[in-house]
Amino acid sequence: MTELEFDDIQHIMLTGTPHLTGRYEFLSFDTPEAGQAWLAEMVPLVQSATDVSRTVNIFKRWVNLAFTWNGLRALGLDDETLATFPAEFREGMAARADILGDTGAAAPEHWLGGLAGDDLHAIVILFARDEDERVRCVGEHDALLARCPRVRSLSHLDLAATAPFEYDHDHFGYRDPVSQPQMAGSGEVLIPGAGGALAPGEFILGYPDEEGLVSNQPALEVLSRNGSYLAYRRLEEHVGTFRDYLKQNAPDAEGEELLAAKFMGRWRSGAPLVLAPEHDDPELGADPMRNNDFDYATMDPHGYRCPVGSHARRLNPRDTEPNPNRRRMIRRSGTYGPALPEGVPDDGVERGVGMFLICASLVRQFEFAQNVWINDTAFQELGNEHDPICGTQDGALDFTIPKRPIRKVHKGLPAFTTLRGGAYFFLPGLTALRHLSTLGQQGAS
């Protein structure tokens, strides 16, 4: 198998970081020259997978850069090369809202931060170990923008982890992430139940995928290797609504936790319902060598433990769907907004998760998951249901909990989350980043 070029791969594709805060900054380039000047100063800050694996316990900040199709054009990339990117990336996420189920309150006309506009050109992904480092990095970048006045910040989203800080979790309290795909050649220890080591081409351009194909590459050779595509989603979490629903539909605190687990497919600790169907098992949830070691087809075919429509089962149906590994995505994320204290009613403050789904094919992986697994009412013959956690909900859909002798159907599920924005980005390799920063010196490239 072809070896991964760790030195040329932006680290977000291969390594997580111990960040407690950070910022996503969204930029627009008024001229190619301005964009290239900004990029030339930013490239040295971007660490490769090799760099981060060696320095993760030393560094306090980690930077990644990615561009929309309009952003690549604004940098001065030639039309011939631009035309060779996949159609879904050229069109952008907002234009494909109907395919993705981004309708109603989640429709692009309601998105925040200018994310639905054609002038969204780039994102700076900053993860920082602590707030002091985030403030320092933001100050440095503000100074760079002052030196590049034709580069504009459209908006930003500041990240903030919430207690407990011992493990990552969202505002609903679910451990996150728990189940990530693993990549052949990455050097990771294989985790039981994670699906095996997948071909690098499922995630990184320029390598064979699970079918042995090298696909979805732009024609320009320097851009065709060690890059990837990011689907960015800003998902507001309606914590007050979620807590109220649990209280109103469960007999006691223990029942609330079980109902929350049924929605997710895992307890908030990360313990899977298939292995811990009646009571939470935090030690199991925290153990990566055990918390994915299960299947559905033989251990829970009818969903009596883990409902077929639960979030975790929809997003990773394992052995109940053909070729599920062809749909897997690497997920990186951070929470934003303050925590809502227990017992406090909804305060109207936005809080949620800003996430990136990393994949080699936006259509085959991200868009399939959104269209078929998350927002298809007939997923595995369920009927009138979407994903209860991140599916589009309008108050007219259900959630079914199989149970003997009578199943429980939750009618008219409210929206526990709402999409507040999104975009498709191309994440170049480091060599490609340097190339893009010097387009003006190359003439028509």
Cis status, amide bond into 192, omega within 30 of 0: no
pLDDT at 445 (0 to 100): 39
pTM for the model: 0.96
pLDDT at 48 (0 to 100): 97
Q: With a cut of 80, say whether residue 443 has pLDDT above it.
A: no
For residue 286, give Cα distances in angstroms to 110, 164, 179.
37, 14, 12
pLDDT at 1 (0 to 100): 52
Q: With a cut of 50, say whether residue 444 has pLDDT above it.
A: no
Contact indicator for 43, 439 with CB cutoff of 8 Å: no
Share of the chain above pLDDT 90, in %: 93
Per-position DSSP letters for 151-190, written without gaps between them: EEEEEEEEEE--S-TTS-B-TT--BS-----EETTS-PPP
For residue 153, give Cα distances in angstroms to 65, 113, 146, 202, 433.
14, 10, 11, 32, 20
pLDDT at 216 (0 to 100): 82
| CB atoms near residue 19 (< 10 Å) | 21
What's the rounded mean pLDDT across residues 231-251? 97
How far is Cα 152 from Cα 437, in angstroms, rounded to an integer? 17
pLDDT at 172 (0 to 100): 98
Using one digit for the tens of pLDDT, what is the confidence trace for 199-235?
999 999 999 999 999 988 899 999 999 999 999 999 9
How far is Cα 81 from Cα 442, in angstroms, rounded to an integer? 15
3-state secondary structure of 144: helix
How far is Cα 290 from Cα 193, in angstroms, rounded to an integer? 8
By the 10 Å C-beta count (0-12 exposed, 13-18 middle, 19+ buried), 210 is classed as middle
How far is Cα 129 from Cα 136, in angstroms, rounded to an integer? 12
Beta strand 228-237 pairing with 352-359: antiparallel
Using one digit for the tens of pLDDT, what is the confidence trace for 348-402?
999 999 999 999 999 999 999 999 999 999 899 898 999 999 999 999 999 999 9
Q: With a cut of 60, say whether residue 404 has pLDDT above it.
A: yes
Per-position DSSP letters for 93-143, written without gaps between them: TGGGHHHHT--GGGSGGG-STTTTSTT--EEEEEEESSHHHHHHHHHHHHH
Least Cα distance to 314 among 272, 278, 354, 265 occurs for: 265
Cis status, amide bond into 218, omega within 30 of 0: no
148 Cα distance to chain centroid: 30
In one-letter notation, the amino acid at residue 194 is A
Using one digit for the tens of pLDDT, what is the confidence trace for 80-97?
999 999 999 999 999 999
